[in-house]
Amino acid sequence: MDYMTLKEAAEKWGVTPRRINYYCAGGRIPGAVKMATIWLIPKDAEKPVDMRTKQGKELKHE
């Protein structure tokens, strides 16, 4: 399986590396693994829905 780093995922999804780190630590990205201090994210992973946005809140209520 191919993996990408926090920085690569951040560029791909248009968010900060810190936000990706938050998603990984919260178990929101399936298949993400932590090797020592580095998170590895599958290249085919989907961006999690941001629950802070209106779109995320609408999905939560469904």
pLDDT averaged over every residue in the chain: 87
Domain ranges of the chain: 3-61
At 17 the pLDDT is: 95
Q: How confident is the model at residue 59 (pLDDT cuts 50, 70, 90)?
A: low
Q: How confident is the model at residue 61 (pLDDT cuts 50, 70, 90)?
A: low
- Prediction pTM value: 0.76
Q: Which residue intervals of the chain are DSSP H helices?
A: 6-13, 17-25, 54-61
